[in-house]
Structure 1
Amino acid sequence: MSPHNRMDENMANRRSALKALSAGAVAVTGWPLMAQERYPTKALRLVVPFPPGGGTDTVARAVAQRLAIALGQAVVVDNKPGAGTTIGLSEVARSTPDGYTIGIGGTSDPLLPLLYDNLPFNPERDLVFVSTLASSTIALAVANNVPAKSVSEFIAYAKNQAASPLGYASVGVASPMHLAGIHFSAMSGAPLAHIPYRGTGPAINDLLGGHVPAAMLGLPSLLPHARTGKLRILGVASPKRSPLATDIPTLSEVGVKDFDAGFWYHVIAPRGTPKAMVERLRFEIDRVVGNSEMKESLAIAGFEALTLSPEESARSLKLETEKWARIIRENNIRGS
């Protein structure tokens, strides 16, 4: 279940609470005003488990810039990519829980113990949720040398290639895009073979060149090429149409009923970080993400601002984890 369906009904209440806080009212989150005045007293480090220049890094830097203004201290982005985000997340998990190291996590974090042996940390045990940031939409796209012009035609075309399953590109083994492709194949009956790439750029280049027939990739990266006719986007893997491209149908509405493979990013901290500091960070990050200028910046980068309470996030994350864990086990997927 995607968190978006619950987001609208909760935004009004959250805006009212934030307005009251910003006006100097008693903090509804429970952290005292004295704690707000004492923290932070030095720069914060924001660990990003992805390389510089990508969509997540862009979002992180936009948030860091505005969060620094809100906190009155620098927020330094520290890129720690590799090993399916485990290098960066491990860096956060083993940091001193003093409120000065935070990181970017995602809906795939709880799945890491299923994918990697000897993981040096446990996401549930060693990391604590701070605040949601943004969601991004996965899309199914095909190269121009593929005759399918719709999802139903693509499914039929893939079934006709059953002797040699049609390949689809993703950004890597066990990535949300990889799992979305497996989920799509199982729900639609279209035989597909995964072709992992080390990043969006190489995957799109091969899709544009017709070297790979299809791809499950982030919608923002595909859109510019679709707009110029260099590839075709058949549908988005979310329960509702993306505000980035309302003309593109969801996979659910054009043939794969109830298909949902959305994902989102959030801010995390080492377990043991003082509650008052977590609450202060949550308050400021929610306020930053809820700002209209920030929403526009996120949209340009291909993300949709997402503000969920810890309880809402935990419920959605539990459902997502159960769904993808089942797919990982059934298909014996291992991280690379």
Structure 2
Amino acid sequence: MKRRTFVSIAATAGSFAFAQEYPARPLRILVPYTPGGGTDTVARIVMKKMGEQLGQALIVENKPGAGGAIAYAELLRNKPDGYTLTTGSGNISLLNLLNSKLSFDAATDLVQVAPMAKVPIVLIASKKLPVANMAELIAHVKQNPGMSYGTPGPTTPQHLAGVLLGSMAGLTLTHVGYRGTAPAVQDVIGDHLPLAIVGLATAIPFAHSGQVKVLGVGSLKRSELAPEIPTIAEGGVKGYDASYWYDICVAKGVPQTVVNRLHAEITKVLENADVRKTLTAAGFEPMAVTQAEYQSMLRAERAKWEPVIRANNIQME
């Protein structure tokens, strides 16, 4: 028993010493999507400031493909020492439900450390669609079932948001998955597509120019970024919330002391006035929460989305 106690104490001391000197070299941040997108933008804003705080370079590498699976697989091939991180969107513990062919178990092999920013999603409509708000849209779709809505692709948070909307509002909607947000928006502008679900930041310029109509924001309360836009819940879909966020993840096995350090540093970045201003200007809501609060959020998100995914058999194509 004494020997076990000694080993335990020694292991704890070694972990503490590692955390004290961490990071002793540059860190890699793997972004699962292409440069210029929301995940990439938030990661670069937050990681730049975090690198200044840590006194180390944080090297951002884009590893797009397979709904994020390529970046996560790369993360898991590296030693779990906290020097390789990835960004994620929403609750990545749902990945295996969405893609049965993954070579890893996202729920147990990945650790979501801390969120960085929330992404308000909005439902936009072609200016030629004869509706001006959510209530009118609901009535119109009930008379014309099967209306199409576009998203950046299958299994994305926007796709899930559309499925949830149809279920909660009693609407029959047809999903059209694009290769990214831009082509979906362009088809709405050109009146080739009646609806699309996209990020608020993407939609606002086109709404201001009169090229699309924004029918509602998909969060429980109005976004501080555009308080003039009513929520979808206000428009008649009570309780509707399909917000998602970007976070930082590490592999299982990274010492808890390092996870704690990373969480503390990210929180510190998000409390910086300049960073908050930059994120807000780019259309993102800074999201600093405690570790306990974040774990509670993740559990609630899984409980909400797992039945939706299973009931509608949503799978990566």
Which residue identity is paired with 2:106? P
Aligned-pair CA distance for 1:36:
5.6
CA distance in 2, matches of 1:187, 1:174: 18
C-alpha deviations, 1:27-82, integer Å up to 9, x for none?
A: xxx99996565221111000111110112101111111111111111000011111
**Is 1:300 aligned to 2:294, yes or no?**
no
C-alpha deviations, 1:83-140, integer Å up to 9, x for none?
A: 1111112222232111210111232311111121231111122112222211111111
Q: Which runs of 5+ in 1 are unaligned?
A: 1-29
TM-score of the pair, normalised by structure 2: 0.92
**Secondary structure, aligned partner of 2:206:** helix
Which residue identity is paired with 2:239? D
Which residue identity is paired with 2:65? G
Please, which of 20, 23, 26 is the counterpart of residue 40 of structure 1?
23
Partner residue in 2 for 1:55 = 38
Change (3 A) 1:31 1:322: farther
CA distance in 1, matches of 2:171, 2:44: 39
Q: For 1:205-244, list aligned pairs within 5 A.
A: 205-244=186-225
Please, which of 160, 164, 189 is the counterpart of residue 143 of structure 2?
160
**Secondary structure, aligned partner of 1:226:** helix
The more displaced of 32-41 and 59-68 is 32-41
Partner residue in 2 for 1:116 = 99
Partner residue in 2 for 1:261 = 242
**Secondary structure, aligned partner of 1:81:** coil
Which residue identity is paired with 1:49? P
CA distance in 1, matches of 2:17, 2:253: 20
Change (3 A) 1:70 1:31: farther
C-alpha deviations, 1:245-280, integer Å up to 9, x for none?
A: 100000111211111111112111111112222222
Is the 1:89–1:105 Cα contact (8 Å) retained in structure 2?
Answer: no
Is the 2:93–2:106 Cα contact (8 Å) retained in structure 1?
Answer: yes
CA distance in 1, matches of 2:169, 2:183: 27
**Secondary structure, aligned partner of 1:246:** coil
Partner residue in 2 for 1:138 = 121
Partner residue in 2 for 1:92 = 75
Partner residue in 2 for 1:68 = 51
Which residue identity is paired with 2:313? N
**Secondary structure, aligned partner of 2:51:** helix
Q: For 1:194-209, list aligned pairs within 5 A.
A: 194-209=175-190
CA distance in 2, matches of 1:295, 1:317: 23
Aligned-pair CA distance for 1:324:
1.1
Which residue identity is paired with 2:148? G
Spell out structure 1 runs of 4+ moving beyond 2 A. 30-37
Which residue identity is paired with 2:169? S
**Secondary structure, aligned partner of 1:51:** coil
**Secondary structure, aligned partner of 2:250:** strand
Is the 1:107–1:321 Cα contact (8 Å) retained in structure 2?
Answer: no
Aligned-pair CA distance for 1:237:
0.5
**Secondary structure, aligned partner of 1:185:** helix
Is the 2:94–2:107 Cα contact (8 Å) retained in structure 1?
Answer: no
**Secondary structure, aligned partner of 1:198:** coil
Partner residue in 2 for 1:313 = 294
Partner residue in 2 for 1:101 = 84
C-alpha deviations, 1:158-183, integer Å up to 9, x for none?
A: 11212xx1100011111111111111
**Secondary structure, aligned partner of 1:98:** coil
Partner residue in 2 for 1:4 = none
Is the 1:31–1:279 Cα contact (8 Å) retained in structure 2?
Answer: no
Which residue identity is paired with 1:125? T
Is the 1:174–1:335 Cα contact (8 Å) retained in structure 2?
Answer: yes
Is the 1:46–1:75 Cα contact (8 Å) retained in structure 2?
Answer: yes
Please, which of 289, 308, 311 is the counterpart of residue 270 of structure 2?
289
**Secondary structure, aligned partner of 2:135:** helix
TM-score of the pair, normalised by structure 1: 0.87
CA distance in 2, matches of 1:223, 1:324: 27
**Secondary structure, aligned partner of 1:210:** coil
**Secondary structure, aligned partner of 1:167:** strand
- How many percent of aligned residue pairs carry the same amino acid? 41
**Secondary structure, aligned partner of 1:281:** helix
Count of matched residue pairs: 305
CA distance in 1, matches of 2:89, 2:289: 14
**Secondary structure, aligned partner of 2:263:** helix
**Is 1:170 aligned to 2:151, yes or no?**
yes
